[in-house]
Copies of this chain bind each other. A is one copy, B any other.
C-alpha cells in the first residue's frame, strides 16, 4: 500500500467480473453488498510494513476473500468447461485457427478443421474462455467460426447429414471451396472488428495464397452482408436488451472526438513508437515461440496435462487480476464528473472504486476488472491526460506481457489480436505520457499507435491493419501517422524473425509453400530432386486389379503416372505418358468394382453410365475399406477414362526455383517431370513432384551442401 491510501475509511467490494455475473443496472446499487466500515491504520514506513503485515492480513476483509474465491472459482469453472470441450470433442478448435486456414488456402488441409463439431466447440469454448477473463481475444476464433460456417454452407451441412442439392454441388471443387472459406474468414474479421473493408484486406494480405479479382468482390460481398446484419441487430438491441452486444455501435474504439494536429516534429515520436513496436513485436514472437515449444511438450503428455495447464493459467490470471489492483493507489475523482460516473461500482464506467474511499477511484482496477474490450476502450480514451498513473500502466503492461505469452498455447479457442492490442496500447500510452510536454498528440492516440505498432511488429501486416484500425477508431486524420508507424514496425520486425503466424505454421508442421523460392533453389534441378526420391510408380493404361491393389497398399502416393506402350506409325514402338491418375479415383474404381474381363479399352458411354461427376468429386475412404475377391484380382481396369491426360509438366533440367514458381502460381498438387532425352531405354517419366518435395526444409535435408553454400554466401 502506498502512503496516500492509508486511511481507507469505506470500501466497496465490487468484484466486477465481466460476463460471469448477471445483468445489472449500473446506476442502481441495490444489489451491492452493504458497505462495511473499517478503520485501517497502516504504518507509512516501509520497514514497519513488515511488522504490521500480519495484522493487516488479519484485518483484510472477509468480503475481499469471498470475492476472490467467487471470481477465481467462476473463472476456473469456465476455463475447465472450455478446455474439456476442446480436449475431448475437437482438439482442432484450440488456438485461433488462422494459421490452419492460411495453410488450407495454400493447399494444405488439416483434417477435422471445418466440421460442425469444431465450430460448435469453437463457439462455446470461445465464449467460455473469454468470459473466464483469460488474456485472449475472440477475433481469431471468429475467423475460424466464419470459415467453418462457410465450409458447412458450401458442402450442404455436416459430413454425415449433407443436403445434396444441385446448387450446392457447384461448390464441390477445390477452388470454390477455397473461395467460400476465404469469404468466411473475411466475414469473421468483419464481425470481430466491425470492419468490413479491413476484413477483405485481412483475407487478402494474411490468409489467401491465390488471389483474383472475382474473389475480391466475393469477400467484399460477404463482409457487406455481415455489416448490414450486424447493423440490423444493433438497431434491434438499441434498448439494451442484448447485454454487451452492440456497445460502441459500428465503431468499437471511437477516438474521432479528438482533433489530430501534428507537425513535422511529431515524426520523431511516431518513428520511436514504430521502432519500439517492431522490436517488442519480434521479441514477443521470439518468446512466444519458446513458450509454445514448451507447451507442446506439456500438451504431448496427454489430455490431463492439457487440462491442468489451462487451469493453472486460469488460476494465475484470476489471482493477478484480483490481486494487483491492491498495489495501485487511489486517485481522487475529477470534480467535473458526476457522482455516478466517478467512482463507478457497476460493470460499466471508466473509474472503478474497488478498494478506494468515496470520491476516489483505482485506475488499475479500472483496467483489470473489466472486459478486455472495455480495457482497450479505457486505455484509448482521449482528452484524459491524468486518468492513469504511470505505475498502474507499467504493472498493466508487464502483467499482460506475461499473460499474453503464457495464455495463448493452452487448449482453449484463443485469438492473438486482443492480447497484442492490450500490450501495445499500454506501452503506447506510457510513451505518450513520457512525451507529454513535447507533443501535441493526445495520449489516447499514442495508445492507438502503440497498439498498431505492436500488431505490425508481431503480425507483419500493413494495409489490413491500417484499415482495421481506421474502422475501429474512426479517425481518418490519424491515417498518415498510423501508416508510418505500421511500416516502420513491420520493417524493424522483419529484420529479426518471421511473423507470428508463420512461426505457428512452422511449429504445427504444416507444409506451407512460400511465394518466393530461396536463392539456392536456382542451383539444383528437379531431375536431381527426382533422383533422391524413391523411383516413380507407374501404372499401365489397362492395368491388372492386383497391381492396383498392391500399389495402393504399398505406397502412400496420392497420384500415379499412367504410361502406355504402343506402336505409333511414323515413330515406332514408344512408351507414352498418358497422364496422372489419383488415388481417390483408383479407390472409386475398386469400390464400384468396375472391372473388365479382358485387356481392352472402354467406350466413353460405358464410363458415363457407371460414374457421375459427383462420384468423381467425392472422397472414397482408404484402401483398407476395399474388399476385392481373388477372381477379381485377375481382372483388368481401363484407367484411361479416369486419367488426367494433361498434367502440368516440367523437363528434368528445370531448376527447382522455376518449378516452384509454376507449382505455386498455377496451384498444383502434382507435377510430372519429363526426361530430357527420349529413347527406347529411357522411361517416359522421371518423377512426380509434390508439395513436400519442393519445401526448402526437405530439399536441404536431402542436399545438405546447398545449405552450406547458402550459409557461406550469406556470411560473406
Measured CB to CB, the residues of A under 8 A from B are 196-197, 200-201, 204-205, 211-214, 216-217, 220-221, 223-224, 227-228, 231-232, 235, 250-251, 263-264, 267, 462-463, 466-467, 470-471, 474, 476-477, 479-480, 483-484, 487, 490, 515-516, 568, 570-572, 574, 576-577, 645-646, 648-651, 653-655, 658, 661-662, 665-667, 674, 676-679, 681-682
Q: Is the CB of B677 within 8 A of A568?
A: yes
- In the assembled complex, which residues on chain B have CB atoms less than 8 Å from the CB atom of A487? 217, 220-221, 224
A237 to chain B, nearest CB (A): 14
- In the assembled complex, which residues on chain B have CB atoms less than 8 Å from the CB atom of A235? 263-264
Q: Is the CB of B479 within 8 A of A197?
A: yes
- In the assembled complex, which residues on chain B have CB atoms less than 8 Å from the CB atom of A646? 651, 653-655, 658
Q: Is the CB of A570 within 8 A of B679?
A: yes
- In the assembled complex, which residues on chain B have CB atoms less than 8 Å from the CB atom of A516? 212
- In the assembled complex, which residues on chain B have CB atoms less than 8 Å from the CB atom of A466? 197, 220
> Number of copies of this chain in the oligomer?
2
Known: A462-B220, A466-B197, A661-B666. A571 touches B483 (CB 8 A): no
Known: A216-B462, A570-B682. 13 other contacts (CB 8 A): A197-B479, A213-B515, A220-B483, A220-B487, A224-B483, A228-B480, A231-B480, A250-B476, A251-B477, A476-B476, A571-B678, A665-B666, A678-B678
Q: Is the CB of A467 within 8 A of B197?
A: yes
- In the assembled complex, which residues on chain B have CB atoms less than 8 Å from the CB atom of A231? 480
A581 to chain B, nearest CB (A): 16
From B204, B220, B648, B677, contact of A574 by CB (8 A): B677
Q: Is the CB of A677 within 8 A of B476?
A: no
A263 to chain B, nearest CB (A): 7
- In the assembled complex, which residues on chain B have CB atoms less than 8 Å from the CB atom of A570? 679, 681-682
A440 to chain B, nearest CB (A): 13
CB-CB nearest in chain B for A664: B665
CB-CB nearest in chain B for A464: B216
CB-CB nearest in chain B for A267: B228
CB-CB nearest in chain B for A662: B666
The 14 listed contacts between A and B (C-beta, < 8 Å) are: A201-B201, A216-B462, A220-B483, A221-B487, A224-B487, A250-B476, A568-B679, A570-B679, A570-B682, A571-B682, A576-B676, A648-B662, A649-B649, A651-B674
A219 to chain B, nearest CB (A): 8
- In the assembled complex, which residues on chain B have CB atoms less than 8 Å from the CB atom of A678? 571, 574, 678-679
CB-CB nearest in chain B for A251: B476
A654 to chain B, nearest CB (A): 4
- In the assembled complex, which residues on chain B have CB atoms less than 8 Å from the CB atom of A216? 204-205, 462-463
